[in-house]
């Protein structure tokens, strides 16, 4: 059955206005609808205004119910003619990817923004090349098409082309798609923008602007408040666009990445019923960096090569030097996607991007970029912002910078293609020199004596020990690689200097795991320099690392014996004292306290002779431990009292930060001896003090020891609730310290106390 003819809105509205004897301005004043909007309706630019707008016009015109209904019907008919499918096919959404997988959270986010009338009408999806920004918005647009009665429109702004689409041309395409006839299309960009905003105000339409170059290209295409919605995709964040919702895409989660590969490979005729081996797909996904474009290329390569297996492709992609070249399928090339962004950069920014591939660790900061380029940090920071804006770099949770894996390979490829081997070597040497200089500067904050004075030429300029420690930990993979390179190149003095600066800091980060490497390299370098005292010093450092980090006390004892011999040969009393201390500590750890007692006494005597404020309390700590191990708990209490007196006397006290570290140790040892003597109340108070001092030091191992001791004392006193709390805290500290001994003890005590409560 055919539909009755419905009059066009424009002529009908004009006829009613003339019949009422009203000018455009008079009707505008009476209805609250602007004269320009009424003119657009009468000229056919706006064929389907919202019902409330038409009703306001009908009321101002004084129309009878029947005439008012006809006017509303004309507007409804105009809206039915607006969708792009009924216009001319202009600006249609591209077909959605049939095997689109994952991105459920992101799709739901777009759905919420589309259905939120009170929020901003603009949503921006940004991220690195290859993340699937276009595929996401097209998928979401197709899924939500029914929400947009007046159509979904798509314009590729070609932001990475040499000549991107101009706002003038983009507005022309959109206005045609919205139903504006060619002869009615305004010639000026501002007029087009005004008409576009008026149409979008009343249309339930979605406009997708894909691949935007920058804010200026998008700004003219922003809708005002109203029914229309705008989604924008860009490699840049478009931070200058105000009042917009933002979604920064990340690589796919592991499960979604593997599922996408599986969905693509399901099209293979010979694909096994259960799909390819999950382990092989997971490996391919990992090598593709969970990047949707790379995953699709990998899947398509397998589709086009029936003889290949997923395991075989994983093996091919395992070669870093060939991975980008092999991520090609037909006209899909991951390298091409990266190249488009790279070519947007000015040469100084390209150079920075390339050279950042020389950073050995997973992440870096502005200082590394400055070292690689020789530019001021503020200039480098601006360049890094541009790389972040284009999605060529990302952020860690700690606000450091990093490459996506495939982008790092691309940067390295560009580096070796565009720069000479000499330039590459010079840049890498500058980076490594900066890393070692900065590490040495940071380590000085933990040496005995006052904090280091600021130097204008300091590589970083740390303002506190906390900042120095944060840098040393964050940059550990980088400066350790630089140290290894210095050792391999025979730069023995640089190796020794860097390791020396780490000596006191290493006590604060015993669970790092690489101190045996650091001090092993420095011991070798010291031997190469032919200095017995230097060799003894770094042998002692290695003895500490092997004992406290590798948990190999017997090997530590052997190294300490070598250090003692070198120190005696070099005539250095202090290093001989340290060697005896490490031998005593190893004997205690081996359960041989009777052997530890004389070594610890000898160490303390030598430190006293040398006037070493830092070493003497450490030797006495080893002595107290040995005394307790032989059952001499009263002697251990007396020894720890001696230590605490030395720490309290300005004439014998070490530097404050070393003093707090030692005081925490001494108090915990004293608490243990008191507990063994049956003086649980004194022990609990002593452990509580150890925890207070230990909180200032913030070394998890020391905090675990003190908390565990307090829990044991409280349990002995029958204060089970407080003991359980302390045991749980001890377990947390032990986990942070990666200390299996205290973790086992704390867990066992926690279980016992929990059972008592039940």
State the pLDDT at residue 454. Answer: 56
CATH, residue 238 = 3.40.50.300
State the pLDDT at residue 88. Answer: 40
Instruction: Give pLDDT tens digits for 638-677.
Output: 999 999 999 999 999 998 888 999 999 999 999 999 999 9
Place of tokens 């970029």: 369
State the pLDDT at residue 275. Answer: 54
DSSP 89: S
Is 307 in the same domain as 363? no
What is the distance between the alpha carbons of residues 553 and 590, in angstroms, rounded to a whole number? 7
Instruction: Give pLDDT tens digits for 704-746.
Output: 999 999 999 999 999 999 999 999 999 999 999 888 889 999 9
Is 227 in the same domain as 258? no
Is 198 in the same domain as 274? no
Apex 197 CA angle, 193 and 198, nearest 5: 120
Counting the structural domains of the chain, the total is 5
Instruction: Give pLDDT tens digits for 522-538.
Output: 999 999 999 999 999 99
In a domain, 183, yes or no: yes
CA distances from 31 to 60, 66, 200, 335, 474 (A): 5, 19, 20, 58, 65
Strand 122-126 and strand 244-248: the pairing is parallel
Sign of CA dihedral 93, 94, 100, 105: negative
Query: Which of 277, 304, 300, 276 is closest to 288 using CA atoms?
Result: 300
Apex 501 CA angle, 499 and 507, nearest 5: 85
Is 112 in the same domain as 244? yes
CA distances from 391 to 66, 115, 378, 711, 724 (A): 58, 28, 20, 51, 49
* Kind plus residue range of the DSSP H or E element containing 246: strand 244-248
In a domain, 751, yes or no: yes
Cβ-proximal residues to 343 (8 Å cutoff; 6+ apart), any chain: 160
Cβ-proximal residues to 207 (8 Å cutoff; 6+ apart), any chain: 152, 153, 154, 155, 174, 200, 221, 223, 228, 229, 230, 231
Is 636 in the same domain as 720? yes
Is 260 in the same domain as 333? yes
Q: What are phi and psi of 207, to 5 degrees?
A: -115, 130
Query: Which of 59, 9, 66 is closest to 38 using CA atoms?
Result: 9
What is the distance between the alpha carbons of residues 372 and 366, in angstroms, rounded to a whole number? 10
Sign of CA dihedral 569, 575, 577, 579: negative
In a domain, 549, yes or no: no
Is 664 in the same domain as 756? yes
Query: Which of 719, 718, 711 is closest to 745 using CA atoms?
Result: 711
Is 133 in the same domain as 62? no
Structural contact between residues 327 and 295, judged by C-beta atoms closer than 8 angstroms? no
What is the distance between the alpha carbons of residues 359 and 484, in angstroms, rounded to a whole number? 14
What is the distance between the alpha carbons of residues 608 and 606, in angstroms, rounded to a whole number? 5
What is the distance between the alpha carbons of residues 591 and 602, in angstroms, rounded to a whole number? 19
In a domain, 218, yes or no: yes
State the pLDDT at residue 331. Answer: 67
Is 150 in the same domain as 275? no
User: Which residues is 229 bridged to in the sheet?
Assistant: 206
Cβ-proximal residues to 289 (8 Å cutoff; 6+ apart), any chain: 251, 404, 405, 406
What is the distance between the alpha carbons of residues 83 and 203, in angstroms, rounded to a whole number? 10
What is the distance between the alpha carbons of residues 742 and 378, in angstroms, rounded to a whole number? 46
Is 221 in the same domain as 144? yes
Strand 152-156 and strand 206-210: the pairing is parallel
DSSP 5: P
The pair of structure tokens assigned to 67 is 């005439």
In a domain, 415, yes or no: yes
What is the distance between the alpha carbons of residues 540 and 528, in angstroms, rounded to a whole number? 16
In a domain, 505, yes or no: no
In a domain, 446, yes or no: no
Q: Could you say which of 214, 248, 282 is where a domain stops?
A: 248
Cβ-proximal residues to 385 (8 Å cutoff; 6+ apart), any chain: none
CATH, residue 382 = 1.10.10.10
Q: Where are the alpha helices (DSSP H) in 231-333?
A: 254-265, 278-287, 292-304, 310-317, 320-326
Query: Which of 256, 291, 316 is closest to 130 using CA atoms?
Result: 291
Q: Could you say which of 419, 449, 468 is where a domain stops?
A: 419
Q: Which residues of the chain have pLDDT under 70?
A: 1-6, 45, 78-90, 269-276, 331, 453-458
Place of tokens 């004309």: 74
State the pLDDT at residue 86. Answer: 41
What is the distance between the alpha carbons of residues 348 and 327, in angstroms, rounded to a whole number? 28
Q: Is 390 helix (H, G, I), strand (E, B) or coil?
A: coil
Exposure string of 98-136, with b = 16+ CB inside 10 Å and e = fewer, is eebbbbeebbebbeebbeeeeebbbbbbbbbbbbbbbbb
Query: Which residue range(s) make up the domain with 117?
Result: 104-248
Structural contact between residues 236 and 126, judged by C-beta atoms closer than 8 angstroms? yes
The pair of structure tokens assigned to 428 is 């890498």
Is 152 in the same domain as 286? no
What is the distance between the alpha carbons of residues 236 and 239, in angstroms, rounded to a whole number? 8
pTM for the predicted model, two decimal places = 0.73
The pair of structure tokens assigned to 617 is 């309390």
Exposure string of 502-541, with b = 16+ CB inside 10 Å and e = fewer, is bbbbbbbbbebebbbbbbbbbbbbbbeeebbbbbbbbbbb
Per-residue three-class SS string for 415-484: HHHHCCHHHHHHHHHHHHHHHHHHHHHHHHHHCCCCCCCCCCCCCCCCCCHHHHHHHHHHCHHHHHHHHH
What is the distance between the alpha carbons of residues 79 and 49, in angstroms, rounded to a whole number? 7
Q: Write the DSSP string, 514-583.
A: -HHHHHHHHHHHHHHHT-HHHHHHHHHHHHHHHHHTT--HHHHHHHHHHHHHHHHHHT-HHHHHHHHHHH
Q: Could you say which of 219, 248, 277 is where a domain stops?
A: 248
Is 116 in the same domain as 227? yes
In a domain, 494, yes or no: no
Q: Is 151 helix (H, G, I), strand (E, B) or coil?
A: coil
């Amino acid at each position: 059955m055919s539909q009755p003819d419905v009059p066009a809105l424009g002529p009908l509205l004009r006829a009613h206005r003339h019949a009422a004897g009203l000018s455009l301005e008079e009707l505008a004043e009476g209805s609250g609808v602007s004269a320009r909007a009424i003119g657009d309706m009468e000229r056919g630019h706006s064929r389907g205004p919202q019902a409330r707008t038409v009703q306001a016009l009908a009321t101002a015109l004084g129309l009878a119910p029947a005439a008012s209904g006809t006017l509303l019907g004309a507007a409804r008919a105009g809206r039915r003619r607006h969708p792009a499918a009924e216009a001319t096919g202009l600006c249609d959404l591209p077909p959605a990817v049939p095997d689109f997988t994952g991105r459920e959270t992101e799709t739901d986010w777009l759905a919420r923004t589309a259905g939120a009338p009170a929020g901003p009408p603009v949503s921006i999806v940004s991220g690195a090349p290859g993340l699937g920004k276009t595929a996401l918005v097209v998928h979401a647009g197709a899924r939500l098409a029914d929400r947009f009665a007046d159509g979904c429109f798509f314009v590729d702004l070609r932001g990475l082309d040499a000549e991107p689409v101009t706002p003038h041309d983009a507005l022309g395409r959109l206005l045609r798609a919205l139903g504006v006839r060619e002869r009615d299309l305004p010639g000026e960009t501002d007029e087009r923008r005004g008409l576009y905003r008026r149409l979008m105000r009343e249309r339930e339409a979605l406009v997708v602007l894909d691949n935007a170059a920058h804010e200026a290209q998008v700004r003219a295409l922003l809708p005002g408040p109203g029914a229309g919605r705008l989604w924008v995709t860009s490699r840049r964040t478009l931070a200058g666009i105000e009042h917009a919702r933002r979604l920064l895409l990340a690589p796919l989660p592991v499960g979604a990445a593997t599922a996408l590969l599986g969905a693509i490979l399901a099209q293979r005729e010979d694909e096994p019923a259960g799909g390819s081996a999950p382990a092989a797909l997971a490996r391919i996904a990992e090598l593709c960096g969970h990047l949707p474009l790379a995953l699709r290329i990998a899947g398509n390569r397998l589709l086009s090569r029936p003889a290949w297996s997923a395991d075989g492709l994983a093996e091919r992609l395992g070669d870093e030097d060939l991975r980008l070249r092999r991520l090609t399928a037909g006209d899909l090339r991951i390298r091409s996607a990266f190249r488009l962004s790279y070519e947007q950069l000015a040469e100084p920014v390209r150079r920075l991007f390339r050279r950042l591939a020389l950073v050995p660790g997973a992440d870096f900061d502005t200082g590394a970029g400055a070292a690689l380029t020789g530019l001021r940090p503020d200039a480098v920071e601006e360049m890094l912002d541009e790389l972040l804006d284009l999605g060529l770099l990302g952020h860690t949770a700690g606000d450091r910078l990093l490459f996506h894996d495939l982008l790092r390979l691309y940067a390295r490829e560009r580096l070796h293609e565009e720069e000479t081997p000499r330039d590459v070597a010079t840049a890498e040497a500058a980076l490594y020199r900066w890393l070692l200089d900065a590490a040495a500067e940071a380590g000085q904050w933990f040496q005995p004596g006052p904090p280091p004075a600021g130097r204008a030429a300091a590589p970083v300029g740390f303002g506190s020990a906390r900042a120095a420690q944060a840098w040393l930990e964050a940059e550990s993979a980088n400066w350790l690689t630089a140290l290894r390179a210095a050792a391999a190149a025979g730069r023995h003095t640089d190796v020794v200097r860097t390791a020396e600066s780490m000596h006191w800091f290493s006590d604060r980060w015993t669970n790092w795991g690489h101190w045996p490497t650091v001090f092993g390299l420095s011991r070798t370098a010291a031997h190469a320099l032919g200095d017995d005292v230097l060799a003894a010093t770094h042998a002692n450092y290695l003895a500490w690392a092997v004992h406290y980090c590798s948990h190999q006390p017997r090997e530590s004892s052997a190294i300490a014996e070598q250090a003692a011999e070198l120190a005696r040969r070099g005539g250095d009393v202090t290093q001989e004292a340290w060697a005896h201390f490490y031998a005593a500590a190893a004997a205690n750890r081996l359960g041989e306290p009777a052997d530890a007692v004389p070594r610890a006494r000898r160490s303390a005597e030598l430190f006293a002779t040398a006037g070493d404020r830092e070493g003497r309390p450490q030797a006495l700590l080893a002595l107290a431990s040995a005394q307790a191990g032989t059952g001499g708990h009263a002697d251990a209490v007396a020894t720890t009292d001696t230590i605490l007196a030395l720490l309290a006397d300005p004439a014998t006290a070490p530097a404050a930060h070393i003093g707090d570290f030692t005081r925490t140790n001494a108090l915990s040892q004293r608490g243990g001896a008191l507990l063994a003597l049956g003086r649980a109340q004194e022990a609990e108070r002593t452990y509580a003090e150890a925890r207070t001092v230990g909180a200032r030091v913030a070394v998890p191992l020391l905090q675990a020891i003190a908390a565990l001791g307090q829990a044991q004392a409280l349990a002995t006193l029958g204060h089970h609730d407080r003991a359980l709390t302390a045991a749980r805290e001890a377990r947390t500290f032990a986990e942070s310290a990666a200390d299996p001994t205290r973790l086992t003890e704390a867990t066992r005590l926690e279980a016992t106390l929990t059972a008592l409560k039940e």
